[in-house]
Structure 1
Amino acid sequence: MKKSIPLFLFVLFALSIPHSSVHAAESGKVVILDPGHGGEYKGTVGYSGDQTGYVEKKANLDEAYQVRSVLEKKGYTVHMTRSTDKDFGSPVHTDLRNRINIANDWAKGNNDNSIFISLHHNSDAVDPHVRGYETYYYDINNGVDEDFPPDQLQIKYSPESKRLAHIMHQEILKDVSISEGPEGITGNDLFVTRNAQMPAVLVELGYMSNPQEEALIKTSSFQNQVAQAIGKATDQFFSVFEVYDDQNNRLKIYADKEDALNYAKSRENVYVFDKMNQKRIYSNISQRYGVYHVSNPSINQWFNTKEDALTYAEHWKHTRVVDNDTGEILWSNYLLKDFIVEHPKNGILSKNYQAQSAIDYAKHWKHTAVINTKTDQVHWTNYLTKKFHVNAPSKRTLKQFYHQKPAVEYAKNWAGTEVVNSENDSVVWKNPQKGNSDPFESTEISSHARETTAVEVSKALYPNGFPKDHAYKTVILSTSTAYADALSAAPLAAQKGNAPILLSRPNKIRPEVVNELKRLGTENVIILGGPNAISEQIKQQLSSKGYTVDRIAGKNRIETNQKVNAELKNVQGAIVASSHSFPDALGAAPIAAIKNWAIVLTNEKMDNKSKAFVNFKQIAIVGGPGVVSDQVEKDLIKQNGKDRVVRLAGTQRYETQQKVLHYFREDISSSYVLTATGENFPDALSASSLAYKYNAPLVLTDDKLDPATDQFLTQYGHSSVVKHLRVVGGVLKDQVVQQITSDLK
């Protein structure tokens, strides 16, 4: 580039005009190299260019090739405004306009991660002794020339242009055999730097009007030194940590990661971006409001504000808006507001999608009640009394209700019950089933081995074998030595006509198990797990006896679980549990079967196929973050909505079990209770089919009844007419069984 000539001045201050985009936006770290001049614009001819033909446009292009090679090896995406001897139009302001338009097109959509470097070589028309390197950038602090205003994005990026210029200046002076030129580092008003829509610098890599420097510029060693220095400067520029807000406005830039993290953690709704590695390393942005469609996941979107979510949702049918912090459904065009807040004089004060939302509203008023209009159940009130009592045949009150309808529905669960209006002591409903006056009985179902205990459970399930008209006549066969493949068996067994779950060792099936298959009148056997769980020899042995034998197996426990769940039909929800801990999944297994839910196993991160399976379903995560990670919970809430995801967890397995049984209490109303050890899996596994048959809770325990389990059993015994306790497996101590009996009577 020549200095102190009219053409140069015109170049500096040429006007810019709008342009149209011609390139697709890049992602990642982008460097746009601009070899100055080209075509009819030679640039400076230097000291000897008139004789040799080696003029500035040639030097600029040679250097650009060297820089591109260095940067591409470092992993940058590199574009060159020209790679041949060409110009971009005439006159010169058109050339410059088109040149920077091309560069801006490459940066479009990724401007924060793009930089522009214009490569030039200088000249002094007066003094051939002038030499050295100089750096130019647009400095907004120098003010705006109203005749030649900068691009609006360069106003934003000017501080970053300054940072890039200073890094570039220092690295080149440090690593290249060149001194600093008379202009040094200058915030100037050059056309390409002020109109670049990204951080931008123009570098003058020595004076070609100086004979010694011109000779140096032509050498490959000098050009390589410059390229390496520009590569280091580019690395240094990108080696920062940027803090952005939730609108992607950059708030701060730090060289030190910890400083960036500390700043971000002191603010809300920000994230930290590692510019060199192009990834977020921290975020506390909560896209709190989710829009969910009933069946199309591509419509689902997440927003920082409720207003944005509502505006988006109104464009679609069958959507709901959920506050994923609280789980509240804020709006829907397909759900009904079944929960009303009712006042005795003023009528309905509010209609709500969820009971808790209605309760929160009702608490602000006196004399209100929250009622489910579908069931007539009162979920909360501050003035009504529970006047409808469900009495057992012994006249003991099982439960009290505000309204008659839910009282009657509850009373139907047990023979001999009646509903009494306590205000006038009148019987408003009697169960047509006669009450059973038989005393409470406790029965142990066990044998000398886990496999034969499963056989005894099967006999209790089908004492006379499968009925002749049984639709399936199917048995599930699982390994007795490892729990992984068996954890999701209960829902499958339920859908296969409540199939018994029998057990076998991997390489030898007991004769008692074979005999039970015959006694049942089995036609189909489903083996869970691969040949290491149940051998091919056993499969062939069963096939030879005339059974249709199918195997459900994957490469690992997660894939096996997925294949089991693929067999299920019309699944309404999912129990999500750890694939490496059996008590949580087994404790919830009968409930999953009763509700037609699947059991979905997960590792630290949920498999994408499993996530897709549970999409649109109700989800209960069983176990704390130590077994099912917080990340899994966050992912499921984002995918399904907080209103459809609950975590049921205690400090240990039995407290978790109590949380599960309490949460699903309305789904298990039975005169039976089953119990088994929670310290091993086989007995509970086989017992799940029996629990499904009786619609009964399966309670796991160890040698001492946990207080949380004891509390549940006491409550269940008080509110139910329990006549039967089935103790599966012969390992529970008599003292524990006696305590359970006492709780239930």
Structure 2
Amino acid sequence: MKKRLIVHFFLLLIVFLFSPSFAAAEKYIVIDPGHGGRFTGTSGYSGDQTGFYEKVGTLEIGLKLKEKLQGTDIKVFMTRQTDRDFAKDSKEDLIERTKIANNYVKGNNDNSLFISIHHNAYPFSTLVKGYETYYYSKAAAWDEEYPPDPIQVNFESESRRLASIVHPQVLSKTGLLDKGIQNDQAFFVIRNAQMPSVLVELGYMSNPSEENLIKTTRFQNDAADALAQAAIKFFKVFEVKDSSGNEIKQFTSRDDAITFAKTLKNVTVFDKDKQETIYDSTKVNYEVFSKGKAEAESFTELSDAIIYAKERKNTKVIDKKHGTVEWSNYLTRPYQIQNNDGSSHGNYYEKGQAIAAAKVMKNVKVINRSSSDILWTNISGENVTKTLNSKTLFGSDRFETAVKISKEIYPNGFKSSKEEKTVVLTNGLGYADALSVGPLAAQLGNAPILLTRGSSLDPFSEKEINRLGANKALLVGGENAISDKVEKQVKQLGVSVERIGGIDRYETNSMINEKLDHVEGVFVANGLSYADALASAPIASSTDWAIILTDKKKITAEALSYVKGKRTAILGGEAAISSNLEEQLRNLNGTTVKRLAGETRYETLSAILNEFSDEMASDTVLLSIGQDFPDALVSSAIASQKGSPLILVHDELNSSVQDALFEYGMKNRVTSLFTVGGKVQDKPKNQVANRLY
């Protein structure tokens, strides 16, 4: 008794250790050679004379089936591989046998199948013969005392399909008489197997001729081969599933499955044979953008996206994962593969696309078509003539990031000969007062913009003021923004202080603009939102424009007076600046007033970049996050120094901004990309860089 318990323990341990309860997507088959041990099954026509019981024939076929599947990608499990039983009682034996089978496939039930192998007998006549395939149907075989496993009930259609594959295959290979597919018997193993299941009755051992056939190696091989081919065929389907993984429809044709799936939304097509998802509309792989529009149409496959785009004007197809342009009917292809003699091997939207294509060719180079720079080459004696210096300016926080920019502009501090040795100091925890200070900082000898806390001078800024050798600090904001304590701390550094601060952001803005010596035009931006003003600040700082901050619906008399007679650009849509306010400005300045707006802050940025593309000719581009203000706020000083545009991004490069960069990259030989702050992700950074080679 103790010995049997130990054996039973180790059997359960082996099942536990090797049972794929954590299974990834694999194809499994559980082969169940019927009977075994004390449960011999039918003794057939020969009775006990030969010792060839049903359990012997089923095991022979089961082992041969396992061998035939070894060279496939179907993982094989067997309930028994020797002449053994699982319990003393026949019912308990079936329960234990089924538990073992179910444990093998736990977690991978959908991609598994169960074949229980048997031979039949009819005690009342030796003439009965033939082959039957059984699967379980709740409707045809229900017993309240022995209810089926609910998982098997859900697999009824798949069990029926398995039976429809197994049955003709066995008939064809073995030549047995067809006694049909049956579903009216609630055999325990197929009633409780937690996977698609069949039970095969491979001939009648009570029939002397069929018993003799069953004993032959040839028959056993043929039966095993038939079952192996059926198992392989069972998996050769394509399942269309909803977003929860529930099967909607099944196909034997890949194309038919995908065609059907394309008529639905949020579905996948699963190749059951290769165990991979071949179509997935729950994920957006490609997007089609129309020029100037923020919204896109989503597609799973590139071919579908291109077909859709071709039917419309001014469209492009974007690879959602990489942010690359895959096709367009309005963008130029900036990159070309050339031979030694300059002949073309094709033009490409992306540098990476061109280089990937060139790498399989001999003696070619990839060039930028507008500058003729060589970006990649395998031609002997030729070298790359252009690279992009990509540098990130960021510190441990926003205060140190501002200092990093200051050090980039003035690596050795202010020169002794510099007339203006001024720094601009503003509250780094609020944007209200400093949104429009960029142009003034530019006119003050390109003063770096440093940040501080309102209650005390930030240590990073304090050190930078000393390092620069500044003799003057312009404090932007009233005492609520920058306290008297900060002012005293700055003075203690031996620096004179001038404060610009009104009763609110609009008065402070007016005071800043009054200090500007020369103004070519005015940007009008909503003072309660930083995005549009930040987008314009680098341009304003480089082109002698001012920034007017205003309420959505009304503008102060002082601001109207300031705008009069100047070119005017209204930033943002009517949600930012109302049509009534626009009408006031047009009545004041006529046709010189232009609204630069888009559906989002990035679309508005694109409109600004396009409008001022000629004024922003530089070998440098700045990049920062568009969802927060500090990093972009302090970028205007370096933009002013280099005449650079500032590109704002979120988790990817906006489509319209990408178009603006296409044009910018074609017009300007950009050699440097400065990323301001540490919040810009790799994807948008790479997207911007790709446009600048």
Q: TM-score range by the shorter chain?
A: 0.3 to 0.5
Using structure 2 for the length normalisation, give the TM-score. 0.46
